[in-house]
Each structure stands twice: as C-alpha cells, then as structure tokens.
Structure 1
Amino acid sequence: MKLVASSFIFLSTFTFLVAQTTYYPPDGNSIWEQKLPKEVMMDSGKLIEAVAFAKANEYSGSRDLRIAILKGFEREPFHEILGPTKKRGGPAGMILKSGYSIAQWGDTKRVDMTFSVTKSFLSTVAGLAVDQGLIGSTSEKVNAYIWDGTFGGEHNSKIRWEHLLQQNSDWSGELWGGKDWADRPPKEGGLDEWKFRKLNEPGTVMEYNDVRVNVLAYALTHVWRKPLPVVLKEHLMDKIGASTTWRWHGYEHAWTEIDGLQMKSVTGGGHSGAGLFINTEDMARFGLLFLNRGTWNNERLVSESWIQKAIEPSKPNINYGYMWWLNKKGARYWEGLSENLYYAAGFGGNFIIIDEENDMVIVTRWLQPNKIGEFMAMVNAALE
C-alpha cells in the first residue's frame, strides 16, 4: 500500500527501542511530536491500513450538518434547529501512543461540531464541581442545589446527580422549548401515549435524551454561577494547552439569570444545533488527560476518584457510566478489544477512545458509526 503523506506522517527514519514515557504536547499551535509506529512497537503497515479504512468509510450523511440533523431526527415531534450548526469537513483523526502522534489524517485543526462527545465534557464539568466541593456527592438529590422548581414534584424531586449523569433520571418536563417525551420517542405509540406515559423510577431505566442532558447543564450552570464554557476553559482546556478555537454553544434563547447576570446555558450535544465545536487535536488533548487519569505534566486537573467513578457501569446499562460509553459485554461490546476501554461518542461518527491497557488515545471524525468496531479491531491488530 502506498504511503500518502497527507494521511500519515512520520518525522524520523530511525528506530530506537526505548522505554516509553508519557509525552504532553506543547500549547495550542505548536507541532505535536510524532513517532514511527515501530518506535512504539506497532506495525506500520497495519496502521496505514486502519487509517485508509477510516478515510474510505466517511459518514454517509450530508456535510451540511443542518440537513443531516433534520434528517437524522425527522421522526421526533416538534424537532427543530435551535442553535448554531456548521458545515463539516471530511474524515479526520489522530492515534496517540504514550502521548506521541503515531498517525493522523485529514485536517486535524479544523473546528467541527462534535455532537454527543460534548456529553463527556459536560460530565467532566460535573466532576470538577465535585472535586471543588461545589457538589458534595453525586448521590445527593439535585433539588438540594436547584430549588427553582426544575426538580420539584413527586417524581423530579427524587432525582440525584448520578441519575442525570447516567441518563436514567426520567426527568419529566420542558426546557428551552424541548419536551422530554418528544426527544427520541419509542417507535410505538403516539403523542398521547408518549406524553402521559408512566414514569420510571430514577436510576432504573436508561434513556438517551438530550432534553435531560440540557437540564444537567442548566443545573451545573447554577452550581458554578458562571457559564460552563468559562469553567471548562479556566479549569481544564487552558491547562492542557488547547487551542483558542473551540466553542461551546447553547440554544439561541437558552438564557438564565444568575446573580443579576444573563448567562447562556449550553447544551450537551448538537441534537438541535449547538454543543461543542472543536478540532481533532483539542479532542486528542482531552483524551490524553483521561488516559493519564486526570494529570497533565504532573499537575492534577481532575481527581482520579472522579474518573474511576465516571467509568463505572451504571445498573441499568453496563455499557454506560457518567456520560462515557464502556466496552463491557453488553449491547455495545466491541468483540476482541479490552473491556477496560471507554469512549465518548457523537452523531456522525465522532469518537474519543481511551485505551488504558495499550496506552493509546484514538480520535476519529466523520467515520460511518457502524464501522467503528471494525476500525478499532484494525488498530488493535497493529499492536505488536
């Protein structure tokens, strides 16, 4: 197979068998140091094949993401675009080993929507709140912190922070015009059945639901008393040397007042537009922070106890923790890969994959989602 410079970059022609230590890339626009795959005990040919596979299996939806979103969620009643969108680029990605870039393809500096990958960033903002004592424990009820009626009533008053993080709260209500029952409704039934359904006891049934994720973002905004993008930037993204190009949007009308100031409440995805807009390299930095259990250049940014908690399987879904997907033997198991692997996943084939056992981070953008398991098997096959 011919090596294409734009899709796979090597900086050295020599191989040195040395003990690998973690590399942390310098800030923002600096060059990310690269290594030959064989320098880190990987098969170059097999890795090239994996990259070629990722490039050849682009997400089939429109590159105009406004069109892709409306098409993807067309069966939802009342669904509409409420926040910004952006036309996307082509397939892109990076593979890190011990922090070094051993493969990259596409435009890794292009800022694109990343959809539900945003949820793992939102989860981390919750973790920072716990680490700083703003939230005592995820087992506490949310209405002890948010008393404006959002968590009032017989059902919603039972909801704990962990239920929101694991998407098993069954929060009932409306936020920013989004009705919980109209978000990804079951294929059976109609409006009346969905609207007047029997509510599940919090913590018992997982349902992927962006309205409830946005309720979490709203609650965390009030706990922090500042916009969540500011929290993320100050406490994490600046410290891992992320670029200045990422943005975290909310819906156009999603304003809340705190301490007399109007603040935008952001979303946990791009289901109706908005969410995190970010480049591949900044996603890789975030992944590298988690690979190293919350430390960056010997500075502790996220507690290891939070990360461990975030990647524990929830009772209703063994494949889901605190807004991270887990490779356990359940419905989303990737056969033949480590069960300790976990990942952030978003619409259109956006992934940040943390493989602790092999000291790797894999980021893919715009890979056909049903091809991710095959792609990861190819990457795994390159390990020597």
Structure 2
Amino acid sequence: MKKIVLTLSIAFALACCSNDDGSTTPEAMYFPAVSGDSWETKTPAELGWNESQIQSLLDFLQLKHSKSFMILVNGKIVMEHYFNGHTSASPWYWASAGKTLTSTAVGIAQQQGLLDINDPVSDYLGQGWTDLTPTQESQITIKHLLTMTSGLDDAANGDCTDPECLVYLAPAGTRWAYDNVYVILQQVVASASGQTWDAYFDANIKNKIGMTGLWSQMDELSVYFSTTRSMARFGLLALNDGKWQNEQVIPQSYLNAATHPSQNINKSYGYLWWINGESSYHLPQSQLEFPGSVIPSGPTDMFMALGKNDQKIYVIPSRKMVVVRMGDAADESNWALSGFDEDLWVKINAVIE
C-alpha cells in the first residue's frame, strides 16, 4: 500500500511540474539583458516540434513578402529568420501594431497618478481639440479613445487629427470604428506628464526593457520603427503580465483589462489590442459584425498587436509564446487584419503541434 501511495505521489509531483514542452522541471521566464543584444535560444527539437514543417513555413513567409519572423517560448528564441535583404539590425515600421505601445503608456501614466482613463480628453488638452460642440466633446473620455468608441467620424478624419478634421458622428461609446484618432492619446500623456511623448515613452517603456527604435512621422501619424528583436521584447513584456524580470513595468490589472473585451460592440477589441477566441468581431473600416474568432486557427487565448500591411505581434499565454512578423503586405494592402493571419497560423500549427 505504501508503495502505491509513493508511486502516485511521485506521478502527481511530476505532473504538477510538467512544462508545455513535456519536460518536468519548471522553467523560469527568460529575459535578455537590457543592454546588449545577446539572447538565449532553444531549438525546435527540444520542444518536440515538427521540424519537417519548418521549411514550408519559411518558404511561405518569404513568398508573402516577409522581412522577419521570430518565435519566443519562455522568453528564449526558438526561431529567428530574415528575408529579402532584411537583417537583425534593420529597423521597420510597426504601423498600428504600435497602438499597443500608446495604450501601454496610458496605463503606466494612470498608475503614476498622472491621469484617469475615465476622464474627458478635454481635461488634458483643453476645449477645442475637436470640431464638436463643448457638450459633445466633453463626453469623449480617454477610455473611448482606447476602445475606438469616440463617436468621431472615422471616414472624415483619415490620418488627420487637427480639430477641424475631428467631427461628430455618434454619441461617444455607442459606435466602434477603427480610427487613427487614438494618436491623440500621445498628446494626453505628454500633457499629463509635462514631458514630450518621446521622452515619456523612452523613460517608462523603451529603456526599461532594452528596446531600440524611435517615433517618426508617417502619413501624418507618429509611428514606431524598430528592429524585430525590439518588437519581440515588447511582446515578451506583455506575455509576462507586464513584468520585466523583477520590475512591474505595466500595471498588471490594466494590461489584463487592455487584453480582454473592452466594450460590447466589437468583442474582439481591448485597449488598442486585438483579442482572439471571442464570439464575434468587427473588421477595420467596417460596421459589420462577423461571427466567430478573429483567427479561427489561432490559439483562443491569444491577444495581438496588429498593424497595416501585416505587422504582427501574437502573444499566447497558454504556450508561453510570442510570435513576431514584420514585412510588406502579404497580399493586398490592409489596415491590420487580413487573410494572412489565418494562413500563417495554419503553417505555424503544423510546426508546433
């Protein structure tokens, strides 16, 4: 009897300590040093992946105009590939995947007591930041900009955020529309902190996790450019609940809210993050609701930073995984989501499952 109990105890202990890769020793999350470019690796074979499918994935990525592709597991690099003349030192634009950087800065500023996301935007920018009446404008909160529910006319403003471009269409909170007016949040953070946007971002995000890169004007918007590894660093920060090594960079409760449904109109959208595995979604530039998950073949717990022409950060907590893709549009030019997301996950699944 004692022998049976001992055997069961050992089996239970091993099961409790089992990792996703089948090993029985718990593996702590790895973080590359803040300075320098060294980064520990792990092989697909160590994870038990289907190595025979890797070349098919890489061929697909090259065919689809990719410049780089990375997979991290537990923080370590498992795949890192560059295409079409791109290198590990080459910067590329995040496009709207960088919206998540802006969302993150807002959450940090709130934690610091500099702002409250339920406050009207006009509390920080003053009256007249839009072309709305004072009453209409006062109804738009920071949270409305974070959730794409400002009620401003997205078709009228395009990439313009001058007051005359920001016109009324619907009451704040009643309509979801993918809109670049979110960039106003950078002005809010700058005003609340008394710093330039760049200085605040560098001190509170970039320098804390060892990112490189800079903000630059592109199509009238402030867009982030960086290397692929810097993009992966940010994905790793999000994967680890906003904590980098021993420092809580992003408030955990805020990041949790940011990566879960933020309103009832588009259930697949948080605070400038896309969310997989929900019951319905809206596409950018559309008021139609579609049933099902954004990426049916993708993990149901995945949340995503998605940018124009297929800039991607996929964060998958259940697999302790981050996937990054940079490049030109895989097929046709797109705003953030495209058929490439589904096709790519079919290829990834063939490798990792």
Per the normalisation by structure 2, the TM-score is 0.78
Give 1:166-185 correspondences, 5 Å limit.
166-171=147-152, 181-183=156-158
Q: Report if the CA contact (8 A) 1:203-1:316 is conserved.
A: no
Which portions of structure 1, spanning 4 or more consecutive aligned residues, are displaced by more than 4 angstroms? 15-18, 195-198
CA distance in 2, matches of 1:207, 1:47: 38
1:150 partner amino acid: W
Partner of 1:257: none
Alpha-carbon contact 2:88-2:229 (below 8 Å) kept: yes
Match 2:275 to one of 326, 344, 349: 326
Task: Choose which of 105, 111, 123 in structure 2 pairs with 1:125.
Answer: 105
Partner of 1:348: 309
Greater helix proportion: 2
- State the alpha-carbon separation in 1 of the partners of residues 237 and 168 from structure 2: 41
C-alpha displacement at 1:16, in angstroms?
10
Separation of aligned partners in 1, 2:306 and 2:193: 26
Distance 1:196 1:307 in 2: 28
1:99-154 C-alpha deviation (Å, 9 max, x unpaired): 11110111232111221112110111101111111113x22222333324326612
Kept after mapping to 2: 8 A contact 1:146/1:222: yes
1:239 is paired with a residue whose SS is: helix
Residue 147 of structure 1 aligns with an amino acid whose one-letter code is G
Q: Percent identity?
A: 24
Q: Secondary structure at the match of 1:154?
A: helix
TM-score with structure 1 length normalisation? 0.72
Q: Give matches, 1:69-218, under 5 Å.
A: 91-106=67-82, 107-136=87-116, 138-150=117-129, 153-171=134-152, 181-183=156-158, 199-210=169-180, 212-218=181-187
Q: Is the 8 A contact 2:96 2:308 kept in 1?
A: yes
Alignment of 1:54 with 2:30, yes or no, is no
Paired with 1:184 and 1:360, the residues of 2 have a C-alpha distance of 33
- What's 1:23 paired with? 30
d(CA) in 1 for partners of 2:143, 2:45 = 43
Aligned length: 301
1:126–1:184 CA distance, 2 compared to 1 (3 A): closer
Aligned-pair distance for 1:302? 0.8
The structure whose RCO (Cα within 8 Å, separation 6+) is larger is 1
Give the Cα separation in 1 of the matches to 2:35 and 2:325. Answer: 19
* SS of corresponding position for 2:323: strand
Helix, strand or coil for the counterpart of 1:95?
strand
Q: Amino acid of the residue matched to residue 129 of structure 1?
A: A
Secondary structure in 1 matching 2:319: coil
Query: Matched residue of 2:215: which SS?
Result: strand
Structure 1 CA distance for aligned equivalents of residues 77 and 323 of structure 2: 10
Please tell me the root mean square deviation across aligned C-alpha atoms, in Å.
Answer: 2.6
Hey, what does 1:69 align to over in structure 2? none
